[in-house]
Chain A
Amino acid sequence: MTLLLHLLLRRTPIGWLQLMHNRMRLVAAVAGIAFANLLVFVQLGVVASMNSVIYLTYTPFRTDIMISAPSPQLFGGALLSRRIIYMALADPGVADATALHLGSMEWKRPGGMSKVLIVYGMAPEAGAFAGDTITDQQLAMLALPNRVLLDSEFKDVGKDGSDMAIKQLSPETPLEFEINGHAVSAVGSFKLGSGFGYDGALFMSDQTFQRLIPERTSGTLSHVLVQLKPGADPALAVRRLNERLKSEHVQVRTAAQMIADDVNYMNTEAPMGIIFGIGVFIGIFVGLVIVYQVLATDVAAHMKEYATFKAMGYPHRFLLGIVFEEALIIAFLGFMPGVLLGSGVYQVMAMATDLPLGMTPGRALTVLAGTFVACALSGSLATLRLRRAEPAELF
Chain B
Amino acid sequence: MMSRGEPSIRLESVNHWFGAGETRIQAIFDASLSIERGSLTILRGPSGSGKTTLLTLMGSLRKVQEGSIRLLGQELRGASQRSQEALRRRLGFIFQAHNLHESLTARQNTLMGLQVHGPGGDAARQNAAVIHILEVLGLGARIDYLPEKLSGGQKQRVAIARALVSNPEIVFADEPTAALDKDAGLHVVRMLKALGRTRGTSTVIVTHDTRIIELADRIITVEDGRLLPG
Tell me the A residues contacting B by CB distance below 8 Å.
10-12, 14, 17-18, 20-22, 302, 304-305, 307-316, 391-392, 394-395
Contact = CB atoms under 8 A, between A and B. Distances in A.
A395 B116 contact: no
B202 to A, nearest CB: 17
Interface residues of B, number: 36
B99 A10 contact: no
Contact of A14 (B56, B86, B104): B104
B101 A305 contact: yes
B119 A10 contact: yes
B111 interface: yes
Given A11-B115, A12-B115, A392 B104 contact: no
A313 B85 contact: yes
Nearest to A305: B101
A205 to B, nearest CB: 75
B116 A17 contact: no
A307 B115 contact: no
Nearest to B120: A10
Closest 10 CB pairs of A and B: A313-B89, A21-B103, A313-B88, A10-B119, A308-B99, A17-B103, A395-B174, A392-B61, A392-B62, A18-B103
A311 B55 contact: no
A341 B210 CA distance: 66
B116 A313 contact: yes
B108 interface: yes
B116 to A, nearest CB: 5
A48 B86 CA distance: 54
B111 A394 contact: no
Contact of B95 (A12, A17, A308, A316): A308
A297 B85 CA distance: 27
B38 interface: no
B102 A21 contact: yes
19 contacts: A10-B119, A14-B101, A18-B103, A20-B103, A21-B146, A22-B103, A304-B97, A305-B102, A312-B88, A312-B89, A312-B112, A312-B113, A313-B85, A313-B86, A313-B87, A314-B85, A314-B116, A391-B56, A395-B52
Contacts of B100: 305
B83 to A, nearest CB: 11
Nearest to B101: A305
Interface of B: 52, 55-56, 59, 61-62, 81-82, 85-91, 93, 95-97, 99-104, 108, 111-113, 115-116, 119-120, 146, 162, 174
Contact of A307 (B87, B99, B116): B99
A18 B112 CA distance: 14
A308 B98 CA distance: 9
A67 B82 CA distance: 68
Contacts of B111: 12
A386 B52 CA distance: 23
Contacts of B93: 308, 311-312, 394
Contacts of A313: 85-91, 116
Given A309-B112, A312-B112, A395 B89 contact: no
A394 B62 CA distance: 11
Given A21-B103, A315-B82, A392-B61, 16 more contacts: A10-B120, A12-B111, A12-B112, A17-B104, A18-B102, A304-B97, A304-B99, A305-B99, A307-B99, A308-B93, A309-B112, A311-B93, A313-B87, A313-B90, A313-B91, A392-B62
Contacts of A315: 81-82, 85
B209 to A, nearest CB: 17
A20 B108 CA distance: 15
A50 B85 CA distance: 57
Given A17-B103, A312-B88, A313-B88, A392 B119 contact: no
A315 B116 CA distance: 9
Given A12-B112, A394-B95, A302 B101 contact: yes
B99 A394 contact: yes
Contacts of B116: 309, 312-314
Nearest to A20: B103
B112 A392 contact: no
A12 B106 CA distance: 13
Nearest to B148: A21
Q: Which of B90, B116, B119 neighbours the largest number of chain A CB atoms within 10 Å of its CB?
A: B116
